[in-house]
Amino acid sequence: MKEDIKVFCAQASSFPAGIEAAFHQLENKLPDFEKRSVFGISYGDGKGNIIYKAAASLLQDDETNEGLESFTIKKGIYISELIQDFMNNIPQIGLTFQRMLKHPALDTGSYCLEWYKGKDVLCMVKLDTAKVAQSNVE
C-alpha cells in the first residue's frame, strides 16, 4: 500500500455478532457511503478478545463526523489474499487470517485488514519492513 488511508470507524459491540450493526451505524452516519472504500479492522485486545471496527474512507482529507472514530490505515508492505463472493464463504475470512498471521515477517503491532470490493474481500496483514529486508538479504 503506497499511501495512508484515512477512515471513519464504528466499533462492533462484540465479535463477530456486532459486526453487521457496526457497518449499519457507519452507513447511517456517513453521507455518500456508496462512494467510499469500506474496510474491516481487527486486532486482539491482549485478553483473548477480538476488537473489530467497521471503517469507511474519507471523501476529503478535512472531512469530520461527530460520533465516529478517526483512524489511519498505514501504508506499507502487506500480504493479501482475495476471497471471492465472501458472503457465501464467511468462515474463509477467519481461516485466511489464521494462516496469514503465521508469516515470519509479520508486523506484530499491526492489525488484520479487510478491504471490501463489491462481493469480494481482500484480506490483508501488514509486514514489518525490517524483517522483510532482513529475509531478502539472507
Residue 106 DSSP label: B
- The DSSP string of 20-42 is HHHHHHHHHHSTTGGGS-EEEEE
41 contacts 116 by C-beta, under 8 angstroms = no
- Tens of pLDDT, residue by residue over 84-109, are 999 999 999 999 999 999 999 999 88
| Residue type present at position 31 | P
Per DSSP, the chain holds a count of helices (H) and strands (E) of 3, 7
What's the whole-model pTM score?
A: 0.92
Q: Does 67 have pLDDT greater than 90?
A: no
